[in-house]
Structure 1
Amino acid sequence: MNKKRKKILNTNFVLFLVGRMISDLGNSVQMMIMPLYIIDVGGSAATIGLFSFLSLLPALIIYPFAGVIGDRMNRKMIMVVTDIISAGVILALGLISYLGFMRISILLIVQAVISLLNGLFEPATRGMLPQLVDKEELTQSNSTVASMRSISIMLGPVMGNVNIFYFAFPEEFNCVGK
């Protein structure tokens, strides 16, 4: 392994990369199973459209402020807190589903909350990478992160479908915690 390769694989970068992959994988599984669940419980195409709308709008509203927040606050703390809250929300959704209290309205509210949290998370992660690697390694690091994100996003639907096949929906929500 050459010196440049060793340098980019510093502990903080590897932890960032693994955490980002887990987060992206959870998001990907969630974005695949929730619309299927809506269909499964009798939701309409309009409801899935509303779900998709709620997946995007809150993040778009918060993005202009999130960059400023990320510049003024500890990015690592923003990432950790938003991921922990997201995991808690998704795990609570799993509990609600398991107990038989799931409603489409709850799912839509959860999606809006997750979208808001992602709106804070994304700018913080984008601003974090230059703090983890040297300037000369930034291009290679960005490529590595983008590749790993793509892999996570592709694996999410596969994992979600496998879980649905073997466990059905209530258990699926318990498996999605980011």
Structure 2
Amino acid sequence: MASLLNRSFISVVIVQIASLFGDAVLRFALPLYVLNLTGSAALMGAVAAAAWIPYIVLTPIGGVAADRVNKKRIMASLDVLLALTCAAYLAFEGVIDIIALSVCALIILYTAQSVYQPTVQAAVPFIVPRESIVRATAIVSQISALSGLVGPVIGGMVFGLFGIEPVVVVSGAAFALSATLIVLFVRIPRDAIERSDVGVIRTVVRDIAESFAFLRHDRPVILKVILLVAGINVTLTAFILIGAPVTVTQILGLPNQYMGFAEGVLALGGLAGGITVGVLAKRLKLERAGLLLLLAAAALLPMAVVLGVPMDPLLAYGIFVTSLFVCMACATMFSIQSISFVQLETPGHLVGKVIALAMSLANCAQPVGQLVYGGLFDALRGNVVPVALGTAVVSFVIGLATWRVLSRGLREIAAEQDGHAALDAQAAQVTPTTPVKLVD
């Protein structure tokens, strides 16, 4: 743990708290604002899906930037952009259609995160020793979860009491604070990257192709897991993102503040998962990580009970948020182990690009899932139990497949490493020369 107590890592953690707090507040409030104005889950899903599209498209480019451009400069510039976006939202509210304005703000928010998050993940191997990467990644995840815990709770309270404007002000202030702290305190060393003379577009295409080739040929197990996680995102994740606000505010009929607390419980689950990984880093085995996805899928079953059995709204709410907590804790533990595995198995000059490509591929189907679940919750508002049960079954099957793929892939990597070690030992061995005895 002492190896993590260096200025570079601590400074990155501190600015993460401010920036991700602003992100969590805004990302929570704007879709809920749209749902409150229109009452349409389908429109809410469309807004969320539209916001995800630039994130998916630009995340690989963000990974290229994270490996080739000064990471400190990237982080500061994006926080300034987000602070200006909040100011523009307040300036144009009432002038531009509020739905269109909210969509634009969310698109900019997700676009910035498509570059910001790969940059932070790519910085970790440069600011902590190799043996501390898993714990450092867990801490970065815990900061994200902590911001997600506090942000929606505060955002829900402020939004419920005073409306959207104070929420945007709080977020803008957080982004401005983060940008200031980055300029003053953050120091991130980096490898010297050879400058390319083939142009920006060709450089981006070449770097992304190099990253994909690494995943396909050198570490196919990572690529397979990424595609399976995409399946989880299009089912379980999309169900929660759309189903949670609809269930809390419309099916259970509770105020917006309760949705803020539900988002806080989700983040608390993420925080608990991150702490668990940090404490048990040496005991957790990646080949068993698929079990965590099975538990996350099973946590959807109590949600089906809440949606199908008449009961007191507050009791239903308690069961619902408990399920959210378990689901998020398991998903976070799986995510941290997976990201740490990518960081350890990827060459330093490819870390940012590979992580960004992984994030983009894993999330590429999520907008489709949000559109589908938005339509389902609108069409089946009277009986959404089959939606919850179907999501649980599909997620459980994906979890089983992930467990199998990881177990087989890690065995192949171990065999490959053993083979390389044997070859190295053989090459290092000096074959003695038998002396020739001369006969007089």
Alignment TM-score > 0.5, same fold: yes
Offset from partner CA, 1:75-117 (integer Å, 9 cap, x none): 11111111210121123213333xx335211111221122111
Partner of 2:155: 160
8 Å contact 2:23–2:109 — kept in the other structure? no
Counterpart position of 1:132: 127
- Provide the C-alpha distance between the structure 2 equivalents of 1:146 and 1:82, rounded to a whole number of angstroms: 20
What's the counterpart of residue 78 of structure 1?
74
User: What secondary structure sits across from 1:89 in the alignment?
Assistant: helix
Number of the residue aligned with 1:44 = 40
Alignment length (residue pairs): 172
Deviation of 1:17 after TM superposition, in Å, equals 0.5
Letter in 2 for 1:14: I
Alpha-carbon distance in structure 2 between the residues aligned to 1:153 and 1:171: 18
Give 1:106's aligned amino acid: L
Question: 2:137 & 2:86 partners in 1: Cα distance?
Answer: 28
Aligned position for 1:113: 108
Name the structure 2 match of 1:149.
144
**Aligned-partner residue type, residue 78 of structure 1:** I
Q: Out of 8, 21, 32, which is 1:12 matched to?
A: 8
Q: Secondary structure at the match of 1:138?
A: helix
Question: Do the aligned partners of 1:25 and 1:155 also contact (CA within 8 Å) in 2?
Answer: yes
Residue in structure 2 matched with residue 91 of structure 1 by the alignment: 87
TM-score, scaled relative to structure 2:
0.37
For residue 176 of structure 1, give the secondary structure of its aligned residue in structure 2. Answer: helix
Q: What is the match of residue 54 of structure 2?
A: 58
CA distance in 2, matches of 1:167, 1:155: 18
* Percent identical residues: 24
| Residue 55 of structure 1, CA deviation | 2.6
Tell me the distance in 1 between the aligned counterparts of 2:143 and 2:60: 26
Give the Cα separation in 2 of the matches to 1:110 and 1:144. Answer: 28
Give distance in 1, aligned partners of 2:35 and 2:72.
Answer: 37
Deviation at 1:166, TM superposition (A): 3.6
Q: CA deviation at 1:43?
A: 6.1
Equivalent of residue 95 in structure 2, options 101, 107, 112: 101
Deviates more, 1:139-148 or 1:121-130: 139-148
CA contact (8 A) 2:86 2:168 kept: yes
Question: Greater Rg, structure 1 or structure 2?
Answer: 2
| Offset from partner CA, 1:125-155 (integer Å, 9 cap, x none) | 1111122222232222112111221111122
In 2, Cα distance between equivalents of 1:94 and 1:40: 19
Q: Distance in 2 between matches of 1:54 and 1:122?
A: 19
Greater CA drift, 40-49 or 15-24: 40-49
**Greater RCO structure (CA 8 Å; 6+ sep):** 1
Q: Which runs of 4+ in 1 moved over 4 A?
A: none
| Match of residue 26, structure 1, among 17, 22, 27 | 22
Aligned to 2:386: none
Q: What letter matches 1:34 in structure 2?
A: L
One-letter identity of the residue aligned with 2:163: A
Report the 3-state secondary structure (helix = DSSP H, G, I; strand = E; otherwise coil) of the residue aligned with 1:41.
helix
Q: Match for 1:77: what amino acid?
A: R
Q: Which amino acid aligns with 1:121?
A: Y
Q: In the aligned structure 2, how far is the partner of 1:114 from the partner of 1:175?
A: 15
* RMSD (Å) for aligned C-alpha atoms: 1.8
> Whole-Å Cα distance in 2 between the matches of residues 22 and 55 of structure 1?
22
Distance 2:169 2:159 in 1: 11
